[in-house]
Structure 1
Amino acid sequence: MKPTAIVLFVLVGVLSCKQGPKSSVEVESHQLDYMEMGKGYAQETQKVLGKNLMQTIQNEGVAQAVVFCNEQAYPLTDSMATRYKAKIKRVSDKPRNPDNKANPMELAHINTFKEKVAQGDSIIPIVKEENGKVHFYAPIITQSLCLNCHGTPGKNIAPDVVRHLSELYPQDQAIGYDVDQVRGIWSIVFDAEKRSE
């Protein structure tokens, strides 16, 4: 299978907001500003990961893509976090790498997104601001390409890929997915802007 594109999630667009006197409308507009910022960080990080992953799949195959993810996903994500001065993570309730296990707050958001997908509702990222920090959460939705590594062994996942996964991730839980399911979330934290009173 030679996929030509990778799209792991689509986020709902929101309009940019005007600045004005502090009011309930402005508080809401701050949330929209932060929504755009969080979406931008997630989308740009996904582009970097996706581009490199696709090159590996096209040049070396899916099994080597597992090795790529094992060796390069963290450094690439960290480089984007440094670029944006943010903490950027991909976490899951069924992690492949134990370091990607969602904390209780992140698990609650994963469950919220799963419920919305199950009900066919629109999925809008979650933005919370507290203690001078913005916490942004957006779902990672499985596409058909994802099933090469996150589907079902023997059905979507080839034997050589299963072998690589078992060697590199002996505690792997990130299998058994189908398309259009919540595989995890982007969990991004960045500084809130200081606003004048």
Structure 2
Amino acid sequence: MKKGIKFAKINLIVLLVFTMLFGCENRAKKDISKNETPVAKNEQLDLSKGFQLLESNCFACHNPKKVIEGRIAPPMSAIKEYYITENKNISEEDFIKSLIMFIENPNKENSKIPEAIEMYGLMPKMNFTEEQVTQIAKYIYQSKFEDPDWYIKHFQNEKFMHLENLKNEVVSYKDLGLQYAMKTKAVLGKNLIAALKNKGTKEAVAFCNTRAFNIVDSAGTALNVTIKRVSDFPRNAINIANNNELNFIYNAKKALVNKEKITPLVQDIDNKMVGYYPIVTNKMCMQCHGEPNSQILSETLTKIKELYPMDKAVGYGENELRGIWVVEMNKKE
């Protein structure tokens, strides 16, 4: 009987110890989960989206590698140095405001790096939302771009980490199409800027005639989508917009006249999801699409007429709708 009582006591002690240990573990887990606040999670997602946007849209020109040859824009390390290091006490909030101001309206007044404008010229206006620029700015501010070996030391690990963070994110067709359009624009823009810088406007017209279509088509193939540029006043007849596209162009132009932002549109057409995204002119565009014999030099105009006898793509001003990206996507299963 005493042995039974003793055994029962031992069992009771073991049960109490187990309960205490298990309870502590649960409390620890609860304490940890308390630290994983929605705010912290959203902040991490913003950083991951910022990295993704930079890789898809910005690194093509703002190369993070330590290379000088062929550079067509300042590297990210230089951007961070000028915006942050030169203003040692700048807050993340003020940095975001400065970047939004410049990206929404790239000009000398809004730039913090006048030397870069002299060396590379003004960057084209990008079709980012304010939320996207904020995500890009957050990532730049918190990154280690200032490390000269950032690409070698950090790029692959960062890419893997941010892909993991975003793998469960549900991306709408509208955002997915925008990603494809911006990736294609980045590749095409990089090549066009290089042609302008190295060979001048006249030869850049020849570049567009022989290579632009293939670059866009190849980008679509690589992304597994069909992508094209169309306009109501095309330079090349193959880029004429169809009725659905013309309707979007009409509404987009109306939005610009009313000083409203153009909202991309996705339609379900023939069992495909088709997205429309604006192409808005900037100062660089005026060299080939501005006013003949004033903004467009006579030798450039002669080349345009030679290569595009039916050209309708002149007479534009800055911040006008030049055309649209059309992205045709397969439906998700």
TM-score (norm: length of structure 1): 0.86
Within a 5 Å distance, the mapping from 1:102-113 to structure 2 comes to 102-113=241-252
Asked if the contact 1:96/1:172 (under 8 Å) is kept, the reply is yes
CA RMSD of aligned residues (A): 2.2
Give the structure 1 partner of residue 323 of structure 2.
184
Aligned equivalent of 1:4:
121
Pick from 292, 305, 311: which aligns with 1:153? Answer: 292
What percent identity do the matched residue pairs reach? 35
Q: Which has the larger helix fraction?
A: 2
Residue 4 of structure 1, CA deviation: 2.8
Letter aligned with residue 88 of structure 1: I
Pairing of 1:136-175 with structure 2 (within 5 A)? 136-175=275-314
Q: Which blocks of at least 5 consecutive residues in structure 1 are unaligned?
A: 20-28
Partner secondary structure for residue 77 of structure 1: helix
Distance 1:168 1:149 in 2: 13
Inter-partner Cα distance in structure 1 for 2:314 and 2:215: 23
Within the candidate set 251, 254, 263, 1:115 is matched to 254
User: Aligned residue for 2:5?
Assistant: none
Name the residue aligned to 1:23. none
CA deviation vs aligned residue, 1:26-79 (integer Å, no higher than 9, x gap) = xxx7xx611111111110101111100111111110100000000000110011
Change (3 A) 1:3 1:91: farther
Matched residue SS, 1:139: strand
Q: Which moved more, 1:5-14 or 1:180-189?
A: 5-14
- The Cα offsets for residues 10-37 of structure 1, whole Å up to 9 and x where unpaired, read as 1435799x77xxxxxxxxx7xx611111
- 1 CA distance for matches of 2:312 and 2:184? 23
Moved over 3 A (4+): 13-16
Residue 130 (structure 1) shift: 4.1
Relative contact order, higher structure (CA 8 A, sep 6+): 1
Distance change >3 Å, CA 3–CA 177, structure 1 → 2: farther
- Rounded to whole Å, the distance in 2 between the matches of 1:177 and 1:2 is 26
Aligned equivalent of 1:95: 234
Which has the larger strand fraction? 1
- Runs of 5+ in structure 2 lacking a partner? 1-117, 136-165
In terms of Rg, which structure is larger? Answer: 2
Q: Secondary structure at the match of 2:267?
A: strand
